[in-house]
Amino acid sequence: MLGFSKSNNIMKAKFPDESKTIQTDIVLPADTNSLDNLFGGELLARMDKVASIAAIKHSENVVVTASINNVSFGEPVPNGSILTIEAKVSRAFRTSMEVFIDVWKQNKTHPQKYKVNEAIYTFVAVNKEENQ
């Protein structure tokens, strides 16, 4: 796996687990649609935040979202569910990287987790000084 090196603008070797980022949160009424399930746009925003943190950890630089691919909404996430988003860099290139994301829901009274979504986000490391 590769990571961004600020000194020479190229990637350096890293393992995927070095970028692994996990966020656990609860779904609240303000996050839901008219069916009392998590609004899809809210889930995508949460996924983008977690994925961008993984990309920042990997590249050690500012990143921007370039694309979102293979989004798969498996089942609804009801109000009150515990939501866990796991992201890690799965492939990296000179300045861009793919981040694979899994999303799990858990009923607040049962420990069993169910996979509800997955996606691949692509990020580009931006050289802040050169604005590239």
Tell me the three state secondary structure of residue 100: strand
Delimit the domains of the chain by residue range. 2-126
Spell out, as residue ranges, where the chain has pLDDT lower than 50.
1-5, 132
Question: Pick from 70, 56, 79, 65: which is nearest to 102 by CA?
Answer: 70
Q: What is the CATH number of domain 2-126?
A: 3.10.129.10
Give the global pTM: 0.86
Torsional class of 9: left (φ above 0), alpha (ψ -120 to 50), beta (otherwise): left
Predicted pLDDT at 53: 98
User: What tokens appear for 62 in the block?
Assistant: 């500012």
For 22-55, the pLDDT digits (tens) are 999 999 999 999 999 999 999 999 999 999 999 9
